[in-house]
Structure 1
Amino acid sequence: MNGRGVTLLAALLLFASPSVLANNPENGSTKELREAHTYTVTSAPIEPLHLEEPKLPDLSGYTVEAVNAKIDRSKPGSVTIRRMVQQDPLKQFIGGDNRLAEWVRRQRGMPQAIFVEGGYVNLADLAKKVPKQYLSETAEGVYLARLPIVVAHGATLHIDGKTRDLRLSQEGGSFLVNDGKLFVVDSRITAWREADNGPATFRKPREFRPFLLSWGGTETYIAGSVITSFGYDESKSYGVSISQYTPNMTKQMGREEPTGWIIDSEFIDMWYGFYCYETDDFVVKGSTYRDNIVYGIDPHDRSHRLIIAENTVHGTKKKHGIIVSREVNDSWIFNNKSYDNQLSGIVIDRNSVNNLVAWNEVHGNRSDGITIYESSNNLLWGNRVIDNARHGIRLRNSVNIRLYENLSAGNGLIGVYGHTKDLSDTDRDIDLDPFDTKVSMIVVGGQLAGNGSSPLAIDSPLSVELYRVDMLMPSKASGISFSGILGERQEEILDLLVRQRKAVLIDPVESQAELQD
């Protein structure tokens, strides 16, 4: 037996004592803590804990060449200018006096938009068909748009490498809405502040900035491109957004969920770098999201089978680097780098289940590394979670979280921390986002090393299973206490886990009694 492992494990801990948990701000006051259970410690069968290394989606087909192959140029499209009112793709932006007034003020009259219809149009051709006061080429390959541009259902707009920069005027109220197919390849789109002759950099949340939105039934492909300074704090105007129509309009229009790819591109100074809603099979790969305002990558409500892979997300100023929230299920988040974000590096939130979070590098974030909120049945595999300000990996109100072969090291508080919290008195909509104050996890392999207070702690678990976990000294010895209820079983735990090298099951007596009933 490895003497080093025995010495360190015996000196450290498996769980924080009730006093440590009570003083942790994640738990609120001690009144929020559950009544202490009596736990049993037994050896668990090893075979059910065995998992094959997860198979990842093949990314080799997501290339610029594959995007170009999707473009159908066979049918030329047409271009018209007409009023924004009574146009289905624009109802979101003219509903109510306030939103309509935005464009009336900017256009100084009844607002209009440029519509691409009927087939394929590239941007250079589009500019030739529109009066120069609305869309002009200001230098070779540089275009300034002063009206919204709408790609109608059945049409294709192609912004190709001949476009060095499409500048959407902030003063003119320009933005892009895709209701058909949009291709942005080897190009650049910039929200443009004409008064400064430069990008419409962020100043305040509610100030209009140009944006891109793709609706239900659409395809959007952005490859090898740069998008800068999009979005503001208004619905569907966040930056680059992919969204199904509202429920009523979806029934009326019969559109499938939108889809597409974003590959090998860069997004800077966006309100949200990427947002989606009821979107299926979308791919965000190999892209950089830097210095964005609220989120880097933010898939949302009922989006499924997403691939978020090989991206670099850093410098998010208000919240998280990568977050999936509210029933974002059956998705893959792997080989990303998420660092130096204001809150967590990666978050799985609000009943998002059956997701794989694997081989990500998450470091230097100002809150947790990886956070799981009210989202059960997720697998975290082979992540490197290092030097985050709070916990390395944190689970709240989530069960059947499987942690395999992860490294959580040098984080400010706990390497892996599980807890419950009653959210009833918050502003949470319980009907929309239900939760159970239950937590359970399986930790197999990996290393928990040099974290600020302890390698692992959990508050009132339904169960915990541990096997082959290397837990090393915390940076603050005073943060560990191996006393309290689980302290009474310390010798049994260490004997099973270290000397006998067996799996350990820590289970409340109540749950075992329930199994016998």
Structure 2
Amino acid sequence: MNSPRFPLQPLARHLLTGALLLGGAWAQANEAAAPQAQAQAQAEETDKTKELQQAKTYTVTTAPVEQLHLDPPKLPDLSGYTAEAVNAKIDRSKAGQVVVRRMLQQDTLKDFTGGSGRLREWITRQRGMPHAIFIEGGYVKLSQLAEKLPKNQFEEVEPGVYLARLPIVVAQGATLHIDKDTKELRLSEERGSFLVNDGMMFITDTKVTAWREAANGPATFRKPDDFRPFLVSWGGSELYIVGSTITSLGYNKSKSYGVSITQYTPGTQARLKRPHPTGWLIDSEFVDHWYGFYCYEAEDVVVKGNTYRDNIVYGIDPHDRSERLIIAENTVFGTKKKHGIIISREVNNSWLINNKSYDNKLSGLVLDRNSVNNLVAYNEIYQNHSDGITVYESSDNLIWGNKVLANQRHGIRLRNSTNIRLYENLSAGNKLSGVYGHIKDLSNTDRDIELDPFDTQVSMIVVGGKLAGNGSAPLSIDSPLSVELYRVELLAPSKSSGISFAGILGEKQDEILDLMVRRGKAVLIDPVETQADLHD
């Protein structure tokens, strides 16, 4: 595994020690170094919608401390997700068989042959009616394919190194094991090879590489729509990847993104009625994929202890209606187009814990499109090229004990999201706000409002933690339903004028600081109309 490019601990020490001990000198340097970011922040905070132009009146009062208390969140037990536990799941009792069949009229392949454009891809690459290798009936090791198939379909090119020149499909009820006896499985880009799992697939202590035969090397990314081999694990299947390196999979076509655990498309699923897919990806490395990891309507997937390096669009991307995911102890960096880690569209009741996400093109970690009841805890999110942690249209989430440092925009950003609880987080040295909350009308965008509804409302509770040396303000929020603040340490202001709030917090700054800092009280910032309604 590659070590991180920017180790966090020296960075954290630099930010906090510099901020706390050097004080004004550090602040002036930061202020001089980021005039463009500060101007950008000011423009962002004054760009109001009609709702914001009709300014609300807010009051600042004390809030009962008791109702803000939360015990540290209970984390899932990760001790059982091991190579030994995976090995115990492998059923070797019944031998399987290897056959070659046409790709047409196979449920597992319809997504890739159903349209004329995609079918043409394989006709061209195989120079005729396309075929695939099917694993059926029981347990098969990868080495058995070389024994049974001609070299133009599957070849051992050197001891323990295999080149697949056809797609490989694991049928329902079958098991394929790519184990340590395989030094490397190469999937031929020229011949249109890929992996499909409709049963049980185990990739343990080995290497899988999309392979460009002409260059005799990995099929490194060129263009979004250029075919590259991929791995997809369908509804009812289980996929286990342990201690392995997976390289250069995926391109910009449906279900072909890289490593995917996904339910069948709605039409096929209505007929097959397969359970939700699942799997574990642990202690492995994923490099140069279109998406490092993608799932759709998956359940109880574990993504733990992996490195996601230099992937193209996303590092880790759980999607639509996936539930009870554990995304833990991963290192994600160098994502080239978008975010390091994102969960999007009703990915609920999941844990994103103890990850490191840095040097990604946009945000380090994102909750998006009505993803609720998730725990984001103890992550280290730093040096990303946009926000650290971003919450878009996703209410009722707990963000606890994260370190969010030196990101190019906001440390923690909330948009159109309510009941976001921010507890014991450190947000320091970010170019714009430490915590930024705002609303935005998305009606006139390309957003499908029926599929992804939203409310222009934002509210947050901020308890404990530190906001230190952020470029424009420690906290900024506009037009909130409510804001509650308690025990928040405000340290090392980047502006020479001292600590300042922005948005509605700026208007009430003296009252807030008096209650929270000088008197140690919990603060409630509430619209007047909300309080009036309470007395009706």
Query: TM range, normalised to the smaller chain?
Result: over 0.9
Deviations 1:439-464 (A, max 9, x none): 00000000000000110000111000
Residue 284 (structure 1) aligned to one of 303, 323, 329: 303
Matched-pair contact (CA < 8 Å) for 1:27–1:419: no
Residue 147 (structure 2) aligned to one of 103, 128, 142: 128
Quote the residue 2:6 is aligned against.
none
**More divergent stretch after superposition (422-431 vs 483-492):** 483-492
2:68 and 2:359 mapped to 1: Cα distance? 34
Deviations 1:173-200 (A, max 9, x none): 0000000000000010000000000000
1:26 and 1:226 mapped to 2: Cα distance? 44
Alignment of 1:499-514 (within 5 A): 499-514=518-533
Partner SS for 2:116: helix
Alignment of 1:83-232 (within 5 A): 83-232=102-251
Quote the residue 1:369 is aligned against.
388
Cα separation, partners in 2 of 1:204 and 1:317, compared to 1, 3 Å:
same
2:497 and 2:189 mapped to 1: Cα distance? 55
2:217 and 2:329 mapped to 1: Cα distance? 30
Is 2:346 aligned against 1:327? yes
Matched-pair contact (CA < 8 Å) for 1:454–1:479: no
Deviation at 1:283, TM superposition (A): 0.2
Quote the residue 1:405 is aligned against.
424
Is 2:236 aligned against 1:241? no
Quote the residue 2:281 is aligned against.
262
How many residue pairs match? The answer is: 503
Cα separation, partners in 2 of 1:119 and 1:35, compared to 1, 3 Å:
same
Deviations 1:119-176 (A, max 9, x none): 1001011221111210010111000000000000000000000000000000000000
**More divergent stretch after superposition (479-488 vs 54-63):** 479-488
The one of the two structures with greater contact order (alpha-carbon pairs below 8 A, sep at least 6) is 1
Cα separation, partners in 2 of 1:226 and 1:26, compared to 1, 3 Å:
farther
Matched-pair contact (CA < 8 Å) for 2:49–2:440: no
Deviations 1:384-403 (A, max 9, x none): 00000000000000000000
Partner SS for 1:24: helix
RMSD across aligned C-alpha pairs, in angstroms?
2.0
Is 2:512 aligned against 1:493? yes
2:196 and 2:43 mapped to 1: Cα distance? 46
Matched-pair contact (CA < 8 Å) for 2:392–2:414: yes
Matched-pair contact (CA < 8 Å) for 2:95–2:140: yes
Matched-pair contact (CA < 8 Å) for 1:169–1:210: yes
2:119 and 2:473 mapped to 1: Cα distance? 55
Deviation at 1:25, TM superposition (A): 3.0
1:329 and 1:266 mapped to 2: Cα distance? 26
**More divergent stretch after superposition (43-52 vs 29-38):** 29-38
2:81 and 2:42 mapped to 1: Cα distance? 48
1:427 and 1:382 mapped to 2: Cα distance? 35
Deviation at 1:515, TM superposition (A): 2.2
Cα separation, partners in 2 of 1:47 and 1:482, compared to 1, 3 Å:
closer
1:463 and 1:263 mapped to 2: Cα distance? 40
1:244 and 1:112 mapped to 2: Cα distance? 23
1:27 and 1:112 mapped to 2: Cα distance? 59
The sequence identity of aligned pairs, in percent, is 73
Q: Give the letter aligned to residue 373 of structure 1.
A: Y
If the length of structure 1 is used for normalisation, what is the TM-score?
A: 0.94
Q: Give the letter aligned to residue 475 of structure 2.
A: L
Deviations 1:360-381 (A, max 9, x none): 0000000000000000000000
Deviation at 1:26, TM superposition (A): 7.0
Matched-pair contact (CA < 8 Å) for 1:22–1:33: no
Deviations 1:387-425 (A, max 9, x none): 000000000000000000000000000000000000000
Cα separation, partners in 2 of 1:147 and 1:477, compared to 1, 3 Å:
same
Is 2:416 aligned against 1:378? no
Quote the residue 1:471 is aligned against.
490
Quote the residue 1:16 is aligned against.
none
1:28 and 1:141 mapped to 2: Cα distance? 60
Quote the residue 1:351 is aligned against.
370
Deviations 1:235-272 (A, max 9, x none): 00000011001222222112110001000000000000
1:195 and 1:437 mapped to 2: Cα distance? 53
Quote the residue 2:464 is aligned against.
445
Gaps of 5+ in 2: 1-19, 28-37
Quote the residue 1:14 is aligned against.
none
1:289 and 1:26 mapped to 2: Cα distance? 34
Matched-pair contact (CA < 8 Å) for 1:27–1:33: no
